[in-house]
Amino acid sequence: MPVPPAIEIARRATLRPATDIAAQMGIGPDLLEPYGAHVAKVSLAAVEALADRPRARYVVVTAVTPTPLGEGKTTTTVGLGQALGCIGRQATIAIRQASMGPTFGIKGGAAGGGYSQVVPFENLNLHLTGDLDAVTAANNLLAAMVDNHLYNGNVLGLDPHGITWKRVLDVNDRSLRNIVSGLGSGQDGIPRETGFDITAASEVMAVLALSRSLRDLRERMGRIVVGYTTAGEPVSAEQLKAAGAMTVIMRDAIKPNLLQTLENTPVLVHAGPFGNIAHGNSSVVADLIGIHAGEYLVTEAGFGADMGAERFFNIKCRTSGLAPDAAVVVTSVRAMKLHSGRHRVVAGRPLPPAMLEENPEEVQLGASNLLAHLAIVRRHGVTPVVAINAIDGDFPSEHAAIREIAASVGVRAAVCTHFVDGGKGAVELAEAVVEAAAEPGEFRMLYDDGATLREKVEAIATEVYGAEGVDYLPAAASQLDTYERAGFGTLPVCIAKTHLSISSDPKLTGAPRGWRLPVREARANVGAGFVSLVSGDMRTMPGLSHSPAAERIDIDEDGNVVGLY
């Protein structure tokens, strides 16, 4: 029997009051700010209030290099959290908040799917408690103050051609990538070239995700660099006297949002930095609460282990001070077949018919990609577990092939049917994770703070991506030199690249070798606390597809949303 659309399943769910969900975590009503009956903000005071409770096992869910259709990482995160409850283990889940860019674009929402999803479905995918709106407003306030400073004499000596701060919008809109602002009369500002990023790719979003407290948020806002003087000196939001007002706008957004799964497992939904542009993880604050709110804290890192998990290990854990106990690497038969190199998959189009035929040998041919992601996890001293996300049409022989690949390197694997069966469909995975998390580990970062920015990039390129080395365009090399001179060299690095390959070329499947990582741009996200490198033709403002989801989303006569998925 086909699984109903996610929104239909969500509407049939029996939700419990947010106060009951919080009580499971040891959080009293005095630490909640309700947004209706089933959503609440959690006070930052909960971090200290729960600090004396035992520390949960910390599990990060990542994946192989995904097909354009995705492999169900959020669904697996939710299914695992529910499954831990099925075997008598108290779990809390922490995920990112949905951006309306993907929601109205081609990807859809970020609530999970089937019978392993977060509810209320519509709230999660449409605004929730307004955090992304606050990020947008704070970001654009700073942009307005930059232009206002130029208009009113430019006392700080900002070079109009050296301004790096852009405006943002939580909508996919390619026409805003490059614009000229300030056109019109002399009263309309100083004309200059600029552009828009999508809100989820903004530094303010990354600041929200990495701040440990309201005070830390304020300090990070002040450190944001908006541009440089003609002498090459950085100019900060603090110097523009914008950081205080930005923090005021964000004072509620820094509080994590509490929701629940279909099986009433607590879920902290907070922050949404993109996984192929920003660091791709939910907030540090949510984890500082969740790590003392049960026996297990299950969080998700965006895209494959080469992207979200690498940044989880080297950026988020560096900031939070938390060390993971295990990592789940999600894969699927279709992902393994894609990485055999025999098929071409295009988002929005049906899978090639040959990809749907029983072919365990083809699964084996895709082993290099899975093995590469397992190696990335192990390189950081964390025990991996393979989650085989079963999809209708898979064959047992193909699942067995993935188990054999995992077993060949001594890694546990579990077949999961949580999309169809909810938590009970991921019990084998939950039991494997409990075993893996109990094993002694020695978590380690990929590089030291004292390494140069180029050494950090080289470490990621060669040890994570499998590249032979790194090639910098002159502009990127000059920018890195500027950042080192400005004292930003101790920051970790975040490489924006395609998520469709471990390499920088989306057409290369498996685990490519013999290539070099091209870096065309560098950005100092000093407030967030990392230096961002851009590889290839990455865009920080996505565009809509030929047939975006927005065309199908509507409201019926009873006020119900239709077409949201």
For residues 84 and 185, membership in a common domain is answered with no
For residues 136 and 246, membership in a common domain is answered with yes
**CB neighbour list of residue 430: distance below 8 Å, 6 or more residues apart:** 80, 83, 84, 86, 87, 89
pLDDT at 76: 97
CB burial of 107-138 (b: ≥16 within 10 Å; e: otherwise) equals bbbbbbbbbbbbbbbbbbbbebbebbbbbbbb
pTM for the model: 0.95
Whether 548 is in a domain gets the answer: no
Specify whether the CB–CB gap between 328 and 60 falls below 8 A: yes
Whether 287 is in a domain gets the answer: yes
Q: How many domains does the chain have?
A: 3
**Positive or negative, the Cα torsion across 280, 282, 285, 290?**
negative
For residues 348 and 207, membership in a common domain is answered with no
Specify whether the CB–CB gap between 461 and 517 falls below 8 A: yes
pLDDT at 371: 98
Which residue carries 């947010």 as its tokens? 18
pLDDT at 541: 86
- Residues of the chain with confidence (pLDDT) below 50: none
The CATH number given to whatever domain includes residue 178 is 3.30.1510.10
pLDDT at 326: 98
Range(s) of the domain holding residue 387: 6-129+253-438
Give residue 149's Cα distance to chain centre. 34
For residues 420 and 526, membership in a common domain is answered with no
Whether 551 is in a domain gets the answer: no
